[in-house]
Amino acid sequence: MRTNSTMTAGMEPETTSKVRAVPAPTVLPHIEAPQRVAPADARELSKLFLARLESVEEGTPEYQYVRNTLIEMNLSLVRYVARRFSSRRESMEDVLQVGTIGLIKAIDRYDPSRDVEFTTLAVPYIQGEIKRFFRDTTWSVRVPRRLQELRIDLARAREQLEGEGGHEPSVAELADHLDMPESEVAEGLVACNGYDSDSIDRPIQAGGGGKQQTGLVADLIGAEDPALGLAEDIQALKPHLARLDDRDRTLLRLRFGAEMTQAEIGEELGLSQMHVSRLLTRACTTLREGLLAEG
């Protein structure tokens, strides 16, 4: 084994006991800068430190030294796995921190007696933590996990079907390919819209070169039209108006259609202003109660 310049030898001869599968030295090398240990040396030293970690009492200074040294020596493994996700837009520092959590879990759960390479256990743990981080933080809108996983299946299915047919696959084609109901596929496609978001102040580019700005995304967002609400109210009122008698409908037409005052309506129909007021109040109350009953 190559010896790193940062290590000082202090190991006793290995034990010849047949009980332990991995030798456990009583004195470990003192490593001043674990992160500078070459990967090949780190793999060999990790075997000694992992074996020692099994025999020392948790919470003691020696336990902390062995465990912390193992973490620092194997940070290169975290960086190696994290490079596979370098194309993501998330901060690489965050990815490394999450990957380190996976490394720590692998160290705590490693069993030297199984005679399995530490990297065989550590890499899946590191990858799992990083993928879980992306799953939980990259979606702009929080959706159920099953829909997050369905998005990946839909992306793969769409890519495969486009390669075979050369056109955008329909919901029915995706459902047939994935062997699932069309309603579930449609729900997944809607959920995909929540994966990424964009600023409403982003300029809209036009033209082949995409250099001509034609406006902002916000310009494409519609505004609430009060006239639509009025149209809905009128349609809802129609059946209730039809139930009123002719005199009440005439009163409402003159008051709200012709915008006549109550006094003018009284002169028109030969009624007192007070009587007109009572009739209008009763008619409006009847209409209001009918609308509320529907709601």
Pick from 78-87, 127-136, 163-172, 213-222: least confident: 213-222
CA distance 217 to 227: 25
**pLDDT of res. 13:** 39
**pLDDT of res. 236:** 87
pLDDT at 22 over 50: no
Q: Which residues contact 104 (CB under 8 A, 6 or more apart)?
A: 71
E strand intervals along 64-173: none
Write out pLDDT tens, residues 246-259.
999 999 999 988 99
Write out pLDDT tens, residues 116-146.
889 899 999 999 898 888 776 665 566 677 7
- Asked if 206 and 186 count as a contact pair (C-beta separation under 8 A), the reply is no
pTM: 0.45
pLDDT at 167 over 70: yes
